[in-house]
């Protein structure tokens, strides 16, 4: 029981991660795949930040009178990761636009059929 109380966070985050993963591998629409990829990314960020959190700790901004702070290192890593994530999402969406202009569709099955019939 004590183990469940202290670990339920991680399990819920893993369920969200798997939802994003399932969207990427099983759905054929390209925009939905990119949305699923973003869900996966955000759940990884949640996992990292929850590892760095300290109960009864404050945000890592030094202030007189506070002695217990949350760990600032995961915040730094995740800040960089979020910005890099939006860069790759923008690039992926630009590729989707070009695929639509070249093939006329953004469903994976139709693109595959068009490629195979060439």
Partner 1 sequence: MIETVVDITLLSLIAIHAIAIIRVRSLFAVIMLFGGFSFLSAGLFVVMDAGDVAFTEAAVGAGISTVLMLATLALTYAPAVHKEEKAPRHKPWLPLSVVVITCGMLIYGTWDLPGYGDANAPVHKHVAPYYLEKSLSETGVPNVVTAILASYRGFDTLGEVTVIFTAGIAVLLLIGGRRRKEKVTGQPNET
Partner 2 sequence: MKHNLILRVVSKFLIPLIFLFALYVQFHGDFGPGGGFQAGVIFSAAIILYALVFGVDTAKQVIPPYILRLLASLGVLIYAGTGVAGLLLGGNYLDYNVLAKTYLAGQHLGILVVELGVGITVMSVMLIIFFAFAERGRPE
Least Cβ distance, residue 4 to partner 2 (angstroms): 33
Which tokens sit at 2? Answer: 């004590």
Taking residue 10's Cβ as centre, other Cβ atoms within 10 Å add up to: 13
Tell me the site size for partner 2, rule CB under 8 A: 8
Residue placing its CB nearer to partner 1 in the complex, 25 or 65: 25
Place of tokens 């973003």: 38
String of b and e for 41-72 (b: at least 16 CB within 10 Å)?
bbbbbbbbbeebeeeeeeeeeeeeeeeeebee
Please tell me whether residue 44 binds partner 1 under the rule CB under 8 A: no
Site residues (CB under 8 A) for partner 2, limited to 87-106:
90, 93-94, 97
Site residues (CB under 8 A) for partner 1, limited to 56-85:
56-63, 68-76, 78-80, 82-85
Choosing from 12, 19, 51, 59, the residue that interacts with partner 2 (CB under 8 A) is 59
Least Cβ distance, residue 90 to partner 2 (angstroms): 5
Please tell me whether residue 37 binds partner 1 under the rule CB under 8 A: no
Please tell me whether residue 115 binds partner 1 under the rule CB under 8 A: no
What are φ and ψ of residue 29, in 5° steps? Answer: -75, 130
End-to-end Cα separation, the chain, in angstroms: 60
């Amino acid at each position: 029981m004590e183990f469940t109380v202290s670990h339920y966070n991680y399990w819920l985050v893993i369920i969200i991660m798997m939802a994003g993963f399932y969207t990427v591998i099983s759905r054929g629409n390209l925009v939905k795949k990119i949305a699923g990829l973003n869900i996966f990314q955000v759940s990884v960020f949640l996992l990292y930040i929850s590892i760095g959190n300290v109960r009864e700790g404050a945000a890592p901004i030094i202030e007189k009178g506070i002695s217990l702070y949350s760990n600032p290192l995961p915040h730094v890593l995740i800040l960089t990761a979020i910005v890099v994530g939006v860069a790759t999402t923008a690039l992926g969406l630009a590729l989707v636009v070009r695929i639509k202009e070249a093939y006329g569709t953004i469903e994976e099955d139709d693109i595959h059929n068009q490629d195979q019939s060439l």
